[in-house]
Amino acid sequence: MKTLEQELAKRRAGHLYRERLVLDSPQETEVRVGEESLLSFCSNDYLGLANHPEVVAAFRAGAERYGVGAGASHLVSGHSRAHHALEEELADFVGAERALLFSTGYMANLGVVSALTDRHDVIFEDRLNHASLIDAARLTRAKVSRYPHADAERLAEMLAKHQRPGLITTDAVFSMDGDMAPLADLFRLASRHGARLLADDAHGFGVLGKNGRGSFEHLEIPLASPAILMATLGKALGVFGAFVAGETALIETLIQRARTYIYTTALPPAVAEATRASLRLVRAEGWRREHLRELVEKFRGGAQSLGFSLAASTTPIQPLILGDAEKALEASRRLREHGILIPAIRPPTVPEGSARLRITFSAAHTATQVDRLLEALATVISG
């Protein structure tokens, strides 16, 4: 058996060793790392709300009213009026009967999958699903069948071979490629075969759709059974946590059976209050989504004119695939020399041979900053 030191050395030799950045500033487009001031294109703060003064003020007021911790799980004594109000407001926003808060998206996905499946069931999952959905399936005793990425036709064939309806799980917007799942096709297949569809909309919620309600709104799909929506609150909303939305019977089932909900301390109520403020901004300030779309279009047009091959993504996630892990690391290092922060994404986060720069945009970015990024990429990638 290899020692831990040997395993770490192997990672370093393969250019797969991960290191943390220590930020000395809020999450904004300009961040401070030690003595460096860097223009960041790697945050999921898509709407620029993580340091918004109204959200910060709501967090402060929530802490003054409720303290800094929930003290217990939701089912003991940790469910506050702030939590309850946020759940009702989230359900109203996405057009669902009910919503249920979870501490993280990871815990939400584990909770839903474990609560709705047993050893007699089948879970059908997209091969490029987020790790939380992959792990959720692994941790159940259900049979797992993986279908080729975004291939609804192949999924239809797989569903037809199983007698039990099963659970289909997918990212709505895939976190590393930025492309969208064929949700309309998946919704129809789930309805036809009596299956449930769990869509992880962590990267679509707040960003996509006329009103920011996410991928279902963007694709004009009603959020109704058999669909289950999971979305996070730490990306476009800029705060922390996650929620699951669906019909009342689903939410009540999760309250009774989702172990990652039952056996963990509730989010601090102050976080819920901050999220309520953030949700109000998402509702009121549609210009943020419009500006974000304009920045993505500007980047894609500029990158293509420079000869870069881009993925089929119109979302704020714009991967520049370089293939080799060492090459991606070197590109990231050289961009940092130009004052731009974009860490390299390498296996096992992405498949072998697809190491990349995962470029992400925020409504807080300016067109001038996008120009600066394009100029740096032209120098770094070509040179």
Nearest in space to 265 (alpha carbons), one of 69, 66, 63, 62: 69
Give residue 185's region: left, alpha or beta (phi > 0; psi -120 to 50): alpha
Question: Measured in whole angstroms, how far is the alpha carbon of residue 229 from the centre of its chain?
Answer: 12
Nearest in space to 195 (alpha carbons), one of 120, 258, 84, 121: 121
Task: Catalytic residue, from 175, 278, 332, 354: name it.
Answer: 175
242-246/98-102 β-pairing: antiparallel
Q: How far is CA 345 from CA 175, 354, 357, in A?
A: 11, 9, 6
Question: Measured in whole angstroms, how far is the alpha carbon of residue 165 from the centre of its chain?
Answer: 27
Rg of the Cα trace of the chain?
21
| Rounded CA separation 213/208 (Å) | 7
Task: Catalytic residue, from 130, 203, 218, 291: name it.
Answer: 203
**Whether 143 contacts 121, CB under 8 Å:** yes
Instruction: Find residue 100's DSSP bridge partners.
Output: 244
**Whether 336 contacts 377, CB under 8 Å:** no
Q: Catalytic residue at 327?
A: no
Tell me the two tokens of residue 120: 């007699």
Task: Catalytic residue, from 235, 291, 332, 354: name it.
Answer: 235
Angle between helices 131-139 and 105-116 (to 10 degrees): 30
DSSP run (H or E) holding 322: strand 317-323
Three-state SS string across 186-254, please?
HHHHHHHHCCEEEEECCCCCCCCCCCCCCHHHHCCCCCCCCEEEEEECCCCCCCCCEEEEECHHHHHHH
Q: Catalytic residue at 175?
A: yes
> Token match 């399936």: residue?
137
Helix (H, G, I), strand (E, B) or coil at 344: strand
Active centre residues (catalytic):
175, 203, 235
